[in-house]
């Protein structure tokens, strides 16, 4: 039974990825034929479809979302920060149905078709351990914010192996301070149980997503203090979700 479930997931993931990427590439081509550029929000809509399809078509996966009322409804730029539990985390953020761009390893941008779609969506590549690449990525993120497009960060920098949030890096919070925009904390609990690190066989699990209110920097608050304050908010909420 486990073998069949594993095989189904791989085939389904492959088909949905091909369907989504091919469709977006064709639409991008049609826009170019008439001398236009596909709007970032339109392109991102294919990502929303892809993430929702993967989550809904995987047997045994359940999702509970709370705090939707905290999602900004106006044309507001903000930085989304979420704890990082699993490779499925980006699918789960897509479930919120909002427009955003996110940072991804530069290697993903080199994957045929998928990488092309990442560029069409104006997502941001970053090379791990390369200071120049990180600097350039933050500059691109600042540009997106000035275009009123939210930017998603997983400030731990890597996935947590025990499910508990790891210490946050300051990059996302420095960006928020520099661009004078708030941070939107999103707490994920159970994502690490959906798909084990390095595995391709989904496990039966329920994912909890909690969207918290926007967090603005206090007057004269330094980046370290701002980072720690938001981290503590996410850690406390994560502990609550783990005990539900």
Tens of pLDDT, residues 106-127: 999 999 999 999 999 999 999 8
More confident residue, 227 or 105: 227
Express each pLDDT in 35-71 by its tens digit: 999 999 999 999 999 999 999 999 999 999 999 999 9
Average pLDDT over residues 206-228: 95
Average of per-residue pLDDT across 88-95: 90
Strand bridging mode 151-153 / 183-189 = unpaired
pLDDT at 73: 80
3-state secondary structure the chain: CHHHHHHHHHHHHHHHHHHHHHHHHHHHHHHHHCCCCCCHHHHHHHHHHHHHHHHHHCCCEEEEEECHHHCCCCCCCCEEEECCCCCCHHHHHHCCCCCCEEEEEHHHHHCCCHHHHHHHCCCEEECCCCHHHHHHHHHHHHHHHHCCCCEEECCCCCCCCCCCCCCCCCHHHHHHHHHCCCEEEEEEECHHHHCCCCCCCCCCEEEEEEECCCECCCCCCCHHHHHHHHHHHHHHHHHHHHCC
- CATH number of the domain to which 172 belongs: 3.40.1130.10
Q: What is the pLDDT of residue 99?
A: 95
Domain count, the chain: 1
Which residue is it, tokens 């998928």?
A: 114
The whole domain housing 196 covers: 2-242
In this prediction, residue 160 has a pLDDT band, given cuts at 50, 70 and 90, of low
Distance of CA 114 to the CA centre of its chain: 16
What would the mean pLDDT of 83-96 be, rounded to a whole number? 89
């Amino acid at each position: 039974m486990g073998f069949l479930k594993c095989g189904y997931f791989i085939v389904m993931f492959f088909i949905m990825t091909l369907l989504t990427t091919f469709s977006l590439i064709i639409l991008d081509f049609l826009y170019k034929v008439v001398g236009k550029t596909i709007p970032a929000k339109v392109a991102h809509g294919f990502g929303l479809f892809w993430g929702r399809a993967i989550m809904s078509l995987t047997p045994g996966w359940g999702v509970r979302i709370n705090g939707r009322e905290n999602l900004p409804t106006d044309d507001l730029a903000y930085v989304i920060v979420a704890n990082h539990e699993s490779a499925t985390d980006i699918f789960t953020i897509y479930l919120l149905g909002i427009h955003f761009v996110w940072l991804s390893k530069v290697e993903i941008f080199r994957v045929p078709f998928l990488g092309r779609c990442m560029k069409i969506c104006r997502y941001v590549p970053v090379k791990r351990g390369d200071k120049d690449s990180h600097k350039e990525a933050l500059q691109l993120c600042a540009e997106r914010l000035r275009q009123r497009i939210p930017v998603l960060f997983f400030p731990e920098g890597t996935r947590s192996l025990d499910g508990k949030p790891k210490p946050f890096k300051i990059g996302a919070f420095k960006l928020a301070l520099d661009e004078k925009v708030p941070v939107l904390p999103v707490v994920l609990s159970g994502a690490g149980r959906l798909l084990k690190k390095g595995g391709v066989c989904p496990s039966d699990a329920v994912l909890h997503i909690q969207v918290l209110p926007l967090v603005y920097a206090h007057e004269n608050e330094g980046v370290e203090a701002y980072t720690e304050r938001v981290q503590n908010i996410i850690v406390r909420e994560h502990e609550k979700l783990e005990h539900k």
